[in-house]
Amino acid sequence: MDVIEQCKALVQKIYEQMDASHDFQHIERVLMNAEAILQKEPTADEKIVKLAVYLHDVSDAKYAADKSAQNDILEKLDITADERKHIEDIIESVSFNGGNSLEAKTIEAKIVRDADRLDAIGAVGIARTFAYGGAKGRKLYDDEEEARFNMTADEYRTKSTASVTHFYEKLLLLKDLMVTTKGREMAESRHAFMEQFLQQLTNEKNGDA
């Protein structure tokens, strides 16, 4: 078993315990997005990209108190110290953190971050938003709630806003935050679909559809 397949086997057990917004299907979709971007970025290290994709949510702060699961898996993989540090740096730069993302300094980090953000928008992004909101007992929408645009990472994570509010606080911002050419191309239609969905939702809420 090569190191990528080994990593896949180790992480799959963890993701199977998460809700539908961050399960193993999410990882498979992010991997497909990353592979599409990789085709346009021939200088990128494919192994590093794939390992980072598989590991990027294993110790997500929404589900884990620390990075023990991520560290345990990295210890088991036959990779160099430099490769491990690169993967850890990529994972640190992936999270949106309420608009407080760390800089994606390498092409591998840019690919993984764009690939993950692509899965947060479009039809799948809509489905994931309401899956997560449902798992956390959040309202579908709250017309009295104002979206926040200047917040700390802690404020972003601790306030349970309605699912539709999340579109304005994060999802509708992601198209313009893509950093790879392919990522920007892929984001266009997904962003447009979200705008169409929100308009239809408004119409139905108002009895106009």
Can you tell me the distance from the alpha carbon of 152 to that of 76, in angstroms, rounded to the nearest whole number?
34
| Best CA proximity match to 49, nearest among 71, 34, 33 | 34
**For the whole prediction, is pTM greater than 0.85?**
yes
Domain boundaries, the chain: 3-205
Give tens-digit pLDDT for 132-171.
999 999 999 999 998 888 777 777 667 789 999 999 999 9
Can you tell me the distance from the alpha carbon of 198 to that of 177, in angstroms, rounded to the nearest whole number?
20
The highest-level CATH class for domain 3-205 is mainly alpha
Question: Is 174:31 a contact under the CB 8 Å cutoff?
Answer: no
**Residue at 142: amino acid letter:** D
* pLDDT (average), residues 9-36: 96
pLDDT at 154: 72
Question: Is 169:149 a contact under the CB 8 Å cutoff?
Answer: yes
Residue 18 three-state SS: coil
Can you tell me the distance from the alpha carbon of 180 to that of 36, in angstroms, rounded to the nearest whole number?
11
The pair phi, psi for residue 137, each rounded to 5°, is 70, 30
Which structure tokens are listed for 61? 């702060």
| Residue listed under structure tokens 């239609």 | 189
Give tens-digit pLDDT for 48-64.
999 999 999 999 888 88
pLDDT at 96: 84
Per-residue burial over 167-194, b = 16 or more CB atoms within 10 Å of its CB, e = otherwise: bbbbbbbbbebbebebbeebbeebbebb
Residue 162 three-state SS: coil
Can you tell me the distance from the alpha carbon of 100 to that of 141, in angstroms, rounded to the nearest whole number?
24
